Amino acid sequence: MHDQHEPPIRIFIADDHPVVVAGLTSMLGTQAGMTVVGSASSGDEALEMLRTRTADLLLLDLRMPGMNGIETLHALNRAGIHIRTIILTSYETDEDIYRAVQAGAQGYLLKDAPQADMREAIWAVHGGKRYFPRRIAERLAERMMRTNLTARELEVLHMLARGLTNKEIGAALDISGNTVRNHVNSIIEKLDVSDRTEAATVAIYRGIIEAQN
């Protein structure tokens, strides 16, 4: 796949787990046509380093201290740093995948993916293509078919997850009970669930909202 006369793909890794970074660096260092040019343990650090360091491709973790992976992608775009990116994560909720693609990621891999998949993803994304394993692609397609929840519906959904009644939600948001009921019905329809309890459960499972402590 690699022409020995072509320069190697310069890869930058952003991940807050040193063992992951060491393993990736070691593995990629043995691949023809690939070289790791740097790493960062946070999104903020990655942003600063990529301002002055040239790289062709970014392997980006989703969950990091400070800026998460999605926020890092947005920050890179705002800074005018255009680098092809593969999300490399342990998380695969519908919302994680959707937000990563919306932010500009060209690939999405789980950390337990085989080395062959990693190599294939890097070559594909570096070559201008996208790379999503079938299961990830199916979840993305399903998520993109669903209508987005409005900001108000997300507020209501968070309160449903906390177990608040329509009356309590109405009082908290200063809206009528009828309006709350309309929002709840819309949420149930958009999430394709049967009731408010299932709506909250499914929303947490898909990563639309976080579980309450």
Q: For 93-135, how does the pLDDT look when each residue is reduced to its tens digit (9 = 90+)?
A: 888 898 899 999 999 999 999 999 999 999 999 999 999 999 8
Q: Is 24 helix (H, G, I), strand (E, B) or coil?
A: helix
Continuous segment of H or E residues that includes residue 89: strand 84-89
Q: Per the structure block, which two tokens stand in for 128? A: 């201008």
Q: Decide if pLDDT at 3 tops 70.
A: no
**Dihedral sign from CA coordinates of 76, 77, 81, 82:** positive
Q: Give DSSP secondary structure letters for 49-68.
A: HHHHS--SEEEE-SS-SSS-
pLDDT value of residue 145: 61
Q: Decide if pLDDT at 213 tops 60.
A: no
Is there a contact between 34 and 8 (Cβ–Cβ < 8 Å)?
Answer: yes
Q: For 51-105, how does the pLDDT look when each residue is reduced to its tens digit (9 = 90+)?
A: 999 999 999 999 998 899 999 999 999 999 999 999 999 888 888 898 899 999 9
All structural domains of the chain, each given as residue ranges with its CATH number in brackets, are: 9-144 (3.40.50.2300), 151-206 (1.10.10.10)
pLDDT value of residue 13: 97
**Helices and strands in the chain: count of H runs, count of E runs:** 10, 5
Q: Is 1 helix (H, G, I), strand (E, B) or coil?
A: coil
Q: For 9-38, how does the pLDDT look when each residue is reduced to its tens digit (9 = 90+)?
A: 999 999 999 999 999 999 998 998 999 999
Beta strands in the chain (DSSP E): 9-14, 34-40, 57-60, 84-89, 107-110
Q: For 150-204, how does the pLDDT look when each residue is reduced to its tens digit (9 = 90+)?
A: 889 999 999 999 999 999 999 999 999 999 999 999 999 888 899 999 999 988 8
